[in-house]
Amino acid sequence: MRDVIYSSTRGDALKVKASEAILRGLGPDGGLFVPDHVPHLEHSLEDISKMNYQQTAYEVMKLLLTDYTEDELKYCIEHAYDSKFDTKEIAPLTKAGDAYYLELYHGKTIAFKDMALSILPYLMTTAAKKNNVKNEIVILTATSGDTGKAALAGFADVEGTRIIVFYPKHGVSPIQEKQMVTQKGDNTCVIGIEGNFDDAQSGVKKLFTDEKLAEIMNNAGFQFSSANSINIGRLVPQIVYYVYAYTRLLAQKKITDGQKINVVVPTGNFGNILAAYYAKQMGLPIAKLICASNSNKVLYDFFESGSYDRNREFVLTSSPSMDILISSNLERLIYHIAGNDAKKDSELMTSLSQDGKYSITDSMRSQLVDFYGNYATEEETKDAIKSLYESTGYVIDTHTAVASKVYEKYRKETGDETLTVIASTASPFKFTRSVMEAIDKADDNADDFELADILSQKANIMIPEAVTSIRNAEVRHDKVVETQDMEKAVKEFLGICD
């Protein structure tokens, strides 16, 4: 088997193996690491349908992370997908209404980010060993809510790593903040900043690219790395659950071997749906990749017109993890449909950073036939939660509801009755207020924990451990700093003196 080699979407001077791509996170030119080829699944779908989640994960990941040994990869998988998930199936499928919901929220922080962030720390520490990195790895993250907690939960108490998360002190939901500030683990550090998410993000970028700081860090035995969704180490584990979902349907005889299914993905940064695209390239019989957006419908417009244009108003919605105008992982798709052309990709990305927009060629567009894009407004999102709840009793969160609505639009528009899997990306208990407002009404005087009690009764489901465990948990991180003091805070946590 030929090794899969990774290079940047913006230039192929540097070619690295998977472990180095994971350690680096981002290409030296600011591009994203992409595989030079996508291998086909080795075993038949029938064979994979007899495997459990962990075995399926090995079958998929070994094909793309070719420089990890069998022992290394199995070690990572076994430690990631264990009893931290509240179900043995890891990613169960539930039929409700016209579709199957692939529940990706049974991990520690009840959002789909756990699927990749529970394994990334193991992939990264293994990569550090393989590449003779002696420094302790310091994960630096800016978060608007979800990624920070999932990264904290993943890296807490992982030997050889520390993690520092900056979040906007006045810009996250009460449950999101409580989740982060109660985080356990001696290697974790959570800091609020007096500023918004952009301030946190630019502060972190500045620390990343500060060469003087890198040298000070190195002398003290540390180096920075990134856990955000542009890391290939987050993308590869996400391919697994599409293969798993398909083979479960096969095992349950809902489909026959080779029968095509559709996949609907509520999309923000384009990571999750890109994983489904790679799954298709590996031979998974997927017909349509349905990309669902909220009112920040930049991707819908892109699929409609072939032009990506971020020059528009940023809308705050009830599906905040999809409030995004620059979908970074789309760059990988652009590179592939240009014929793995780094020069073309680079040209378009320069145009994006200079003018906020770019247009693809007709020949690139013709390769997007498998994609369908649409969006749901705030009203439609609410309506999707309410109508599914009233007709089936099944409760979905706001992000999943966007996908559910878009799927309804797709069916109406095309009449396509192909069996369809919707990626369900968060537990309704993570966005309790919006969910309660949709199915009934949310009492303004009740806090988010009280609303969780009411939702639990209404939906007849237990409140997830992720919520009950923080309700009365001790606050362990109460530091708040001004943006200009972020570097000082990092040094303090690492015990580096000036």
Ligand X SMILES: *Cc1c(COP(=O)(O)O)cnc(C)c1O
Q: Which residues bind ligand X (CB under 6 A)?
A: 111-113, 146, 229, 266-272, 321-322, 399, 425-426
Report the residue number, 73 or 150, with the smaller CB distance to ligand X.
Answer: 150
The residues that bridge with 371 in the sheet, in sequence order, are: 289
State how far the Cα of 115 lies from the Cα of 405, in Å rounded to an integer: 24
Report the residue number, 146 or 408, with the smaller CB distance to ligand X.
Answer: 146
How far is C-alpha 451 from the chain's CA centre? Answer: 26
Rounded to the nearest 10 degrees, the angle between the axes of helix 146-155 and helix 120-130 is 50
CA torsion 23-354-266-30 (nearest 10°) is: -10
State how far the Cα of 195 lies from the Cα of 97, in Å rounded to an integer: 43
Report the residue number, 35 or 126, with the smaller CB distance to ligand X.
Answer: 35
Report the residue number, 247 or 272, with the smaller CB distance to ligand X.
Answer: 272
State how far the Cα of 297 lies from the Cα of 373, in Å rounded to an integer: 9
φ, ψ for residue 286 (rounded to 5)? -110, 130
Q: Which of 62, 108, 113, 430 is catalytic?
A: 113
State how far the Cα of 178 lies from the Cα of 273, in Å rounded to an integer: 29
User: Closest by alpha carbon to 166, among 120, 203, 125?
Assistant: 203
**Smallest gap from residue 75 Cβ to ligand X (A):** 26
Residues across the chain: 498
Specify whether the CB–CB gap between 351 and 341 falls below 8 A: no
Specify whether the CB–CB gap between 131 and 454 falls below 8 A: no
How many helices (DSSP H) and strands (DSSP E) are in the chain?
Answer: 22, 16
Report the residue number, 146 or 177, with the smaller CB distance to ligand X.
Answer: 146
Give me 36's structure tokens.
């030079």
User: Closest by alpha carbon to 237, among 249, 227, 225?
Assistant: 227
**Smallest gap from residue 435 Cβ to ligand X (A):** 12
Report the residue number, 130 or 154, with the smaller CB distance to ligand X.
Answer: 154
**Smallest gap from residue 101 Cβ to ligand X (A):** 13
In 252-341, which ranges are continuous DSSP H helix? 271-281, 298-305, 330-337
Tokens 């909220």 — which residue?
Answer: 294
**Smallest gap from residue 270 Cβ to ligand X (A):** 5
Is 149 one of the catalytic residues?
no
**Smallest gap from residue 233 Cβ to ligand X (A):** 14
Report the residue number, 125 or 404, with the smaller CB distance to ligand X.
Answer: 404
**Smallest gap from residue 87 Cβ to ligand X (A):** 18
**Smallest gap from residue 238 Cβ to ligand X (A):** 8
User: Closest by alpha carbon to 59, among 252, 271, 284?
Assistant: 284
Residues noted as catalytic: 113
